[in-house]
Amino acid sequence: MLHVEKIKPLSREFLESIGFYWHTDADQTSYVADELVLVSNDEVEAYYEAANTLYDMFAQAGQHVIDNNLFHELNIPFNLVELIKNSWANDVHWHLYGRFDFAGGVDGKPIKLIEFNADTPTSLYETAIIQWAMLKANGMDEAKQFNTVFEALKENFKRLVVLGGNTEDFAEYYDGWKILFSSIRGNIEDENTTRLLQTAANEAGFHTDFAYVDEVGFNAEGIFKEDENFEFWFKLIPWENIAIEEGDLALILDEIVREQKAIILNPAYTLLFQSKAFMKILWDLFPNHPLLLETSYEPLKGKKQVEKRAFGREGANTVIYDTDMSVIAKVEGDYGNFKPIYQEYVELPKDNEGKSYQAGVFFAYEGCGLGFRRGGLIMENFSKFVGHRIKD
């Protein structure tokens, strides 16, 4: 059983003073739990190693997808295929950050990959800032946490310039390049998460600016805010949304990348990793790997399993089936037009009240931060964020 400890919650006033406004769910309950999951150093090390091992596997599997033209299997929109290939082919399209979702790891059970949120992962602000503040506000040692997210992001911004080289050489190679950060107007969570990333880029040494996406100009010459041209553009907008809802923009971005007018973060190839159908590719290439769950495009025979949609979010359009395919749990949603995949079911760790916990491990060049979501059998929009503390 997973162990948690009660703490004094952070006040709404304090949370808002540091830019965290999405602290209360629609039912007026706190989104941030007043508890911490207790983990050991060995458990932290296992999460770190799992993230690093899996990223290498994702890179191998991504090459396999491109070499064998498996984009359709992953439900990739056709108007992004060339952009994905171009971003994959050149190292300057650096993957800034993502988040692995895991079952197990804190209950004596093995870590198992559920999925990889590689393009626009949520919970960044919570993992990097809020759970650190929870320890500090409760008089605990803030170093007792697997949480180097902000520092890892700063280092990875430097790798946009030095790539595989030494980040200490950033100033030597940096030539005044600018990053424009964008989110959708009216979404405070996305905006402040984007501004957190902008702060990390500033501290890394970049010149930066912010603009809502409706203020950004796109043409064959590059990406602009008013008349200013930017070499990098960070967008907290899912690639599949751009492809489906903004087809003309997808074509312009394809041309911008092809003509090397700008670099987009996260790169288009992260949509391969984001697709839940990628879990099937991993299972084909690494069958029975201890970190993986069996995944298929067709229902698994005689196994408890989860049906998910390739680009579903927040648990929507998820169904848990028993071994006889009777429904155990189900969440409706708006992603039913995406391709279904079927993944072997694994029970999440539970506390003494029977609540389930899913671990999220951020990755920025390496595993860099742990946080938890708490909820029912299916993690969805009302799941809570739970911080952690490393036991003495």
Biggest distance spanned by C-alpha atoms of the chain: 62
List the domain boundaries for the chain.
Answer: 4-274+350-390, 294-344
> Taking residues 60-76, what's their average pLDDT?
97
209 and 228 Cβ atoms separated by less than 8 Å: yes
At 316, is the pLDDT very low, low, confident or very high (cuts 50, 70, 90)? confident
With contact defined as beta carbons under 8 Å apart, do 160 and 232 qualify?
A: yes
Half-sphere exposure for 194 (CA within 13 Å, toward CB): 27
pLDDT at 358: 96
Instruction: Say whether 260 sits in a helix, a strand or coil.
Output: coil
- Check whether 325 has a pLDDT greater than 90: yes
Q: Calculate the CA dihedral of residues 297, 274, 281, 310 and round it to 10 degrees.
A: 10
Q: Give me the mean pLDDT over the 272-290 stretch.
A: 98
**How many residues in total does the chain contain?**
392
Fill in the DSSP letter of residue 374.
E
Alpha carbons 327 and 340: distance in angstroms, whole number:
16
Cβ-in-10-Å burial (0-12, 13-18, 19+) of 161 comes to buried
DSSP state of 251: H
pTM above 0.95, yes or no: yes
Cα Rg of the chain, angstroms: 21
According to the model, what pLDDT value does residue 27 have?
A: 81
Q: Sorting pLDDT into bands at 50, 70 and 90, what band is 164?
A: confident
pLDDT, tens digit (0-9, with 9 covering 90-100), for 343-368: 999 999 999 888 999 999 999 999 99
- Take residue 105 and report the two structure tokens written for it: 């790891």
pLDDT digits (tens, 9 = 90+) for 101-125: 999 999 889 999 999 999 999 899 9
Burial 328-340 (b: 16+ CB within 10 A, else e): eeebebebeebbb
Name the amino acid, one letter, at 222.
G
CB 38 within 8 A of CB 4: yes
